[in-house]
Amino acid sequence: MKARVTVMLKSGVLDVQGEAVRHALGTLGFAGVNGVRQGKVIELDLAETDRAAAEVSVTAMCDKLLANAVIESYRVEIL
């Protein structure tokens, strides 16, 4: 079973990388980009076969390691 975790900075947290990308896009002639938020996608290949158990396990992984709950939010998808 596969899982995909999308981690993003919470709104209100300054996204320095996103701002750098927005600036670079403007420099390259892509006008009209008012904001960019950059995050990360983590794909996991799980041995788990039960969908609900996999979601619980991946959520625990996020809480303990994959996301910083103070400044990041995450979304878990079981594929």
Q: Encode pLDDT of 3-59 as tens digits.
A: 999 999 999 999 999 999 999 999 999 999 999 999 999 999 999 999 999 999 999
All domains of the chain in start order, with CATH: 2-78 (3.30.1280.10)
pLDDT value at residue 54: 97
Backbone angles phi, psi at 40, to 5 degrees: -140, 150
- C-alpha 38, offset from chain centre: 8
Name residue, tokens 């403007």.
26
Contact 59, 46 (CB under 8 A): no
Q: What is the pTM of this model?
A: 0.87
Strand ranges for 10-61 from DSSP E: 39-45
Token pair 């076969």 in the structure block, residue: 49
